[in-house]
Structure 1
Amino acid sequence: MPPLIAILGRPNVGKSTLFNRLLSRREAIVEDRPGVTRDRHYSQGTIGRKSFRLVDTGGILFGDDHPLGESIRKQALFALEEADAVIYVMDGREGYLPVDADVIGRIRRSGKPSVFAVNKVDTVKTEEVLADFHRHGVAPLIGISAAHGRNVDALLDPFLDLMPDTEDAFPVDPGIRFSEASESDIQAWLQRRKDDPPRVAVIGRPNVGKSTLVNRLLGEERLVTSPIPGTTRDAIDTLVTFRDKTYHFVDTAGLRKKGKVAEASELYAQIRTDRAILESEIAVVLLSAEDGLTDGDLRIIRQVIDHRRGLILAWNKWDTLKSTDHSLAPPFRDVRERYPFLSFAPMFGCSAKTGFHVSQLFGHIATVRDWYFTRVTTSELNNLLLPIVQASPPPRLKNHPVRIFYVTQVQIAPTVIMAFSNKPEGISHQYRQFLSRKIREKYPFVGVPFLLKVQAKSRKDRE
């Protein structure tokens, strides 16, 4: 496995900017204000044909009065414990400070390979800036500008021997269209994806307990949790093992209506959350059993459905309900009746705080993922739907009959089903919903919001 390199330092010294620069893409939230990064943020990258993992951390500042200060420090020190190597970042404009000496001492006592970076060295007077750090015995020392990329690659040179060779270390694998691949390629792709850890995004409104749930699943305080809404501002990757199977979870910032996003960091967090959904196979939408299903929840759920990712609805804070008969608890009472478009999604009650029923999530993930990779053959779809279409045909269009010649699944992960018709414009949204319901009666696609499209094809083309 590629080595894990931790980026440590005081608040606002440019750790997240360096994180993004080393990855050559915008991953961490960057804003010129202390305390923007609060959790450990993991990602993967390459340099040449070498691969590495990188973890960004919140600023270490002993004795500050930030309400989350102690939690942020714990996350940074946890990162030091689990890392294979360390980059410690200091601020060239502020110079060497006593807190730097404290952390550098911890790093040296760990015995792990390390390099010390002085950031914001943007001028030719590099030696003058570094002189103060040299006087305190800081070495090996490299002056960099994370914002401009100056000397950044040199930070990884001491760790190259730790990195394995790779040709394509971390590919992003989208869904596969059957028309663009041979049958052997499809089967190989399916097997590869099924062997990979399930990719699960945990999303929801602010302060519904997303980080607490991931911490409960992980069995450690990996993510900063707090009753302060908006504590998580970025999307945080973590691996969870349950019964010898590994799962790739992403804890995301709470989603608000765009009109309520006041800070640039919160806006970017929403963008990262959207990307986390796109890069996941399954989205677990965490809901509050105390609040019931809100308009904000419905907007988030619609976002998952629009991206056609697997959907699981988890009602958190179940332990706070006063009802002793959980089958009659308010969240479950009318949801499926009031919102029939959610009937395909599994839902369950749990408590991230106490652990009540949390393990049920893994069973739902397994079920939804099986359906997410399900392929229904063309003959099975046509044997099911063509008799239904013949018995209940779509309405005529300008006095012309509207026919459906055949139906086939054209893509999996996400699932797309295509109906071929002589007049696609005559197949209304209501009729597509009708056909979708008939498909689900035979093939329920549990938790999978598949797309049914219609395309033009004449009888002559069919023959």
Structure 2
Amino acid sequence: MTFSIAIVGRPNVGKSTLFNRLVGKKLALVDDQPGVTRDLREGEGRLGDLRFTVIDTAGLEEATDESLQGRMRRLTERAVDMADICLFMIDARAGVTPLDEMFAEILRKRAKNVFLAANKSEGHAGEAGYLESFSLGLGEPVRLSAEHGEGMHDLYLALMPLADEYAERAAAEAPEIEADVGDEDEDAVPVPTAAKPLQIAVVGRPNAGKSTLINKILGEDRLLTGPEAGITRDSISVRTEWDGTPVRIFDTAGMRKRAKVQEKLEKLSVSDGLRAVKFAEVVVVLLDAAIPFEQQDLRIADLAEREGRAVVVAVNKWDIEEEKNDKAKALRESFERLLPQLRGAPLIMVSAKTGKNLDKLHDAILKAYDVWNRRVPTAQLNRWLIGMLEQHPPPAPNGKRIKLRYMTQAKTRPPGFVVMCSHPDKLPEAYSRYLVNGLRADFDMPGTPIRLTMRGNSDKNPFKGRRKTNAGALTKHLGKGHKK
């Protein structure tokens, strides 16, 4: 990355559409109604041979108070101060509005480099607005259609001179790095690095404190927060180093019951959050201490387990809880009873507001990640299997006992095991659970999803049921002819 670009402008001028086109993916939510984007979203942009960081921002509003619009505006102003280049977008079909003129004046004084883009300029409808945009005094506007991809070459030509300048500066300041070439142990747990950070998704019901928790981890107000429920709409990912561990944390929209999700925008937000869960390595299910383990919390935790992610359960707002010891005991009992599929998973009491126990949450995430990547040697597994069979033999349907002959670990992330046995279709689910619980206890794999597959072995006669070979048929034919 050589430089960064912040896309700013009024609501509904097409900022998120251009962001998606520059990153080459539909990362940002796009809808006809204004004000969809609320947080700052970063992505790796590409335009021809230019590589840069592109930042999608909330629509600029006149509000400057503590309202939601006022807090959104402050986040956008922060992106303007942070970025190397500010791309100011207007709607060419709507023309230059008084709000555009006011923000152009602010950007002229505040931003390092400002480029003007007249979006929605395709056809004759945007001609008048494009010509009118010259009056903003920000130089010649770039004529764009973010939706149809028109004007991308003109944007490239406008950015190229500054891109070359930043590239030369970055090359001069870059330190020399010596390559460390060594043998890697395939069975070793991968260590998160700056290039491949640990992927963490924070999920939960609306107003559980997900954005506040991530801001406390970052040490800055990077994500939009407030007393209103459902502020976060996009799944925003941020990179940081948390207690020495490079991480990429996904903040997701609050997930309500499916029956309550009616609006199209909320459906998009929830599906975006579900996609973040699939891409994460560790999922932190954040509960509200006042109303923990509601039905929706259980569904969210079960979803993370079914997706095969390492799961850590955190109970937020612990600073305002009065009877901490009794409440903690009750929560652990409820957790074991309501989520048996995550038996042994970490349950951490935290306060996103004060930062209490964030160090314990960090350690629990690393341990869950370690278990998720764990591999057990085959010889050790088969010795363990013999002991489990002696302790509790498998059933004998129709008087014929099912034989479990061999076991191996087929994969990690999450741990997956294969058992070769006779009549796998007749082995009860209860016996599979017996083996899974034994794996958790004996190999110290609490909480992580474990996949156990029963597979039939091939100890039968391989020639049984086959047709006779050509040689046998020929011999029989010759024998018949000789008799004649």
TM-score by length of 1: 0.88
Task: Spell out the pairing of 1:307-456 with structure 2 (5 A cutoff).
Answer: 307-325=307-325, 328=328, 330-456=330-456
After the TM superposition, which of the residue ranges 62-71 and 343-352 deviates more from structure 2? 62-71
Task: Spell out the pairing of 1:7-406 with structure 2 (5 A cutoff).
Answer: 7-48=7-48, 50-63=50-63, 67-110=67-110, 112-124=112-124, 127-152=127-152, 154-160=154-160, 161=163, 187=186, 191=190, 196-325=196-325, 328=328, 330-406=330-406
2:172 equivalent in structure 1: none
Shift in Å at residue 286 of structure 1? 0.3
Q: After superposition, what is the alpha-carbon deviation per residue over 1:127-159, rounded to whole angstroms, capped at 9, x for unaligned?
A: 533110113323241111222222235434444
Q: After superposition, what is the alpha-carbon deviation per residue over 1:415-435, rounded to whole angstroms, capped at 9, x for unaligned?
A: 222222232212232211110
- Larger Cα Rg: Structure 1 or Structure 2? 2
Matching residue's letter, 2:10: R
Secondary structure, aligned partner of 2:437: helix
Separation in 1 of the partners of 2:60 and 2:122?
24
Shift in Å at residue 66 of structure 1? 9.9
Matching residue's letter, 1:58: A
Separation in 2 of the partners of 1:400 and 1:282?
43
Matching residue's letter, 1:308: G
* Aligned residues between the structures: 444
Structure 2 CA distance for partners of 1:303 and 1:290, relative to 1, 3 Å: same
For the 8 Å contact 2:4–2:55, the answer to whether it is kept is yes
Secondary structure, aligned partner of 2:26: coil
1:171 equivalent in structure 2: none
For the 8 Å contact 1:386–1:406, the answer to whether it is kept is no
Structure 2 CA distance for partners of 1:26 and 1:399, relative to 1, 3 Å: farther
2:176 equivalent in structure 1: none
For the 8 Å contact 1:235–1:253, the answer to whether it is kept is yes
Separation in 2 of the partners of 1:414 and 1:84?
41
Separation in 1 of the partners of 2:124 and 2:147?
16
User: In angstroms, what is the RMSD of aligned CA positions?
Assistant: 2.7
After the TM superposition, which of the residue ranges 354-363 and 432-441 deviates more from structure 2? 354-363
For the 8 Å contact 1:378–1:408, the answer to whether it is kept is yes
Separation in 2 of the partners of 1:450 and 1:194?
26
Secondary structure, aligned partner of 1:319: helix
Gaps of 5+ in 2: 168-182, 463-484
Matching residue's letter, 2:304: V
Matching residue's letter, 1:224: L
Separation in 2 of the partners of 1:125 and 1:257?
43
Matching residue's letter, 2:186: Q
For the 8 Å contact 2:119–2:146, the answer to whether it is kept is yes
2:480 equivalent in structure 1: none
Secondary structure, aligned partner of 2:186: helix
After the TM superposition, which of the residue ranges 211-220 and 51-60 deviates more from structure 2? 51-60
For the 8 Å contact 1:126–1:143, the answer to whether it is kept is no
Shift in Å at residue 400 of structure 1? 3.8
After the TM superposition, which of the residue ranges 69-78 and 392-401 deviates more from structure 2? 392-401
Structure 2 CA distance for partners of 1:151 and 1:451, relative to 1, 3 Å: same
1:180 equivalent in structure 2: none
Gaps of 5+ in 1: 165-183
For the 8 Å contact 2:341–2:449, the answer to whether it is kept is no
Shift in Å at residue 331 of structure 1? 2.4
Structure 2 CA distance for partners of 1:285 and 1:109, relative to 1, 3 Å: same
After the TM superposition, which of the residue ranges 187-196 and 59-68 deviates more from structure 2? 187-196
Matching residue's letter, 1:100: D
Q: After superposition, what is the alpha-carbon deviation per residue over 1:35-88, rounded to whole angstroms, capped at 9, x for unaligned?
A: 111111122244455533222111111138994111110111111122232222
Q: After superposition, what is the alpha-carbon deviation per residue over 1:68-118, rounded to whole angstroms, capped at 9, x for unaligned?
A: 111110111111122232222111122112332333344344553442211
For the 8 Å contact 2:241–2:247, the answer to whether it is kept is yes
Structure 2 CA distance for partners of 1:140 and 1:423, relative to 1, 3 Å: farther
For the 8 Å contact 2:382–2:407, the answer to whether it is kept is yes
Separation in 2 of the partners of 1:378 and 1:159?
57
Structure 2 CA distance for partners of 1:254 and 1:384, relative to 1, 3 Å: same
2:6 equivalent in structure 1: 6
After the TM superposition, which of the residue ranges 196-205 and 24-33 deviates more from structure 2? 24-33
Separation in 1 of the partners of 2:199 and 2:98?
42
Q: After superposition, what is the alpha-carbon deviation per residue over 1:169-216, rounded to whole angstroms, capped at 9, x for unaligned?
A: xxxxxxxxxxxxxxx887299647667321100000011111111111
After the TM superposition, which of the residue ranges 380-389 and 394-403 deviates more from structure 2? 394-403
Secondary structure, aligned partner of 1:315: strand
Separation in 1 of the partners of 2:262 and 2:69?
23
| Higher RCO by CA contacts (8 Å cutoff, separation 6 or greater) | 1
Separation in 2 of the partners of 1:207 and 1:413?
30
For the 8 Å contact 2:64–2:73, the answer to whether it is kept is no
Separation in 2 of the partners of 1:152 and 1:257?
41
Separation in 2 of the partners of 1:13 and 1:454?
56
TM-score by length of 2: 0.84
Separation in 1 of the partners of 2:184 and 2:353?
44
After the TM superposition, which of the residue ranges 106-115 and 381-390 deviates more from structure 2? 106-115
For the 8 Å contact 2:342–2:449, the answer to whether it is kept is no
Separation in 1 of the partners of 2:289 and 2:149?
47
For the 8 Å contact 1:6–1:79, the answer to whether it is kept is yes
For the 8 Å contact 1:115–1:155, the answer to whether it is kept is no
Shift in Å at residue 264 of structure 1? 1.0
Matching residue's letter, 1:233: R
Structure 2 CA distance for partners of 1:419 and 1:118, relative to 1, 3 Å: same
Matching residue's letter, 1:401: R
Separation in 1 of the partners of 2:424 and 2:187?
34
After the TM superposition, which of the residue ranges 185-194 and 415-424 deviates more from structure 2? 185-194
Matched-pair identity in %: 32
